[in-house]
Amino acid sequence: MLRTMVASLLALFSLAALPTSAHARLQCVTYARQVSDVQISGNARDWWGNAEATYERGHQPRPGAVLAFSGTRAMPYGHVAVVSKIIDDRHILIDHANWSGPGMVERGVQAVDVSAAGDWSEVRVWYAPTRSVGLRASPAKGFIYPRSMTASAANADADAAKG
């Protein structure tokens, strides 16, 4: 019995000590939950709706907010990414997984608002294989703000940044 327990503990320890790359590939939802204070379940395409009664939502980026993309034919489950930095009104840096390659984690990559209204409803995202922001614009619902951040604070920060 003791030998079995020791073997089980050693096996558990060896799994915990494996480098991240040895674990299963990350999906965007799993990664966003790990690196943000937004804890929503469901496919990425459902995060915007699932956030409604729990988190404030809006159309201004703010570090720590989750950018929720709509589901499309090209990405039927949608996509989520975490804002890491605001560059200007139309450019941000994001951290996300499973965009440029299966399970690939990318940090500090550019996302550009290409919507006519400047409301982040159409976004182009850095795509590593082409070494540029993507060839296609992806529809986005907006930003989900962690409970520690409110939409009004995000809007005030955006207004202040505009000068």
Domains of the chain and any CATH numbers:
25-162 (3.90.1720.10)
| Higher-pLDDT residue of 149, 74 | 74
The residues near 161 (Cβ < 8 Å, ≥ 6 apart) are 86, 88, 89
* SS3 label, residue 103: coil
Q: Could you tell me if 31 and 97 are in contact, meaning their C-beta atoms sit under 8 angstroms apart?
A: yes
For residue range 92-118, what is the model confidence (pLDDT) as tens digits?
999 999 999 999 999 999 999 999 999
Judged against a pLDDT cut of 90, whether residue 52 lies above it is answered with yes
**Confidence at residue 119, expressed as pLDDT on a 0 to 100 scale:** 98
End-to-end CA distance of the chain: 69
* SS3 label, residue 96: strand
* Number of Cβ within a 10 Å radius of residue 39: 11
Judged against a pLDDT cut of 60, whether residue 153 lies above it is answered with no
For residue range 54-95, what is the model confidence (pLDDT) as tens digits?
999 999 999 999 999 999 999 999 999 999 999 999 999 999
> Residue 118 has what DSSP assignment?
S
